[in-house]
Amino acid sequence: MSDPVILSIATAVATGVATKLGEGANALLGKLAQALTRRFVQDPEAQSALVSARFEGPERPQAIEIVAERLERAEEEDPEIRELVGRLRAEATRESDDSVGNVIEGNVSGDARVIMGRDFNGDIRL
């Protein structure tokens, strides 16, 4: 399963719908969609998933998952896609006045602990 931010970016690229992103991010999504379309020409399964997700959107989560997985692979291999995804990731995880964005990267298991919160008032004892 892809990380939630990549899954959101893949959904936005595939469906052309981006919520909570500004006009600049929408332009980045358009550039990323073009780059992925060019790249997916050589990958029939990814191309089919992109087309399917574009027309069926959330009703076709397996298609979006395939797009997300191929997007992650493309991000590793293609500098242009890596740069666009990096900019979109920053935009998608940017905090606004009324929301909290938390991103955890890496393995959180065993003795590791993650504590997230917002607007704490008073003492916190752990």
pLDDT at 1 over 60: no
Number of H helices, E strands in the chain: 5, 0
Whole-number pLDDT of residue 72: 92
Phi, then psi, of 92 in degrees rounded to 5 = -70, -30
- pLDDT band per the 50, 70, 90 thresholds, residue 2: low
Residue 76 in this model has a pLDDT that exceeds 80: yes
pLDDT band at 57 (very low <50, low <70, confident <90, very high): low
Q: Identify which of 50, 54, 89, 94 has the alpha carbon closest to the alpha carbon of residue 69.
A: 50
Residue scoring higher pLDDT (51 or 105) = 51
Which of 26-30, 74-78, 92-96, 115-119 is predicted with the least confidence, judged by mean pLDDT?
92-96
Better-predicted residue by pLDDT, 14 or 22: 14
pTM of this prediction? 0.63
The string of DSSP letters for the chain reads ---HHHHHHHHHHHHS--SS--HHHHHHHHHHHHHHHHHHTT-HHHHHHHHHHHHHGGG-HHHHHHHHHHHHHHHHH-HHHHHHHHHHHHHHH---TT-------S---TT------SS--S----
Cα–Cα distance, 51 to 30 (Å, whole number): 15
Q: In this structure, which amino acid lies at residue 53?
A: A
Residues of the chain with pLDDT > 70, as a percent, come to 69
How large is the average pLDDT for residues 66-79?
90
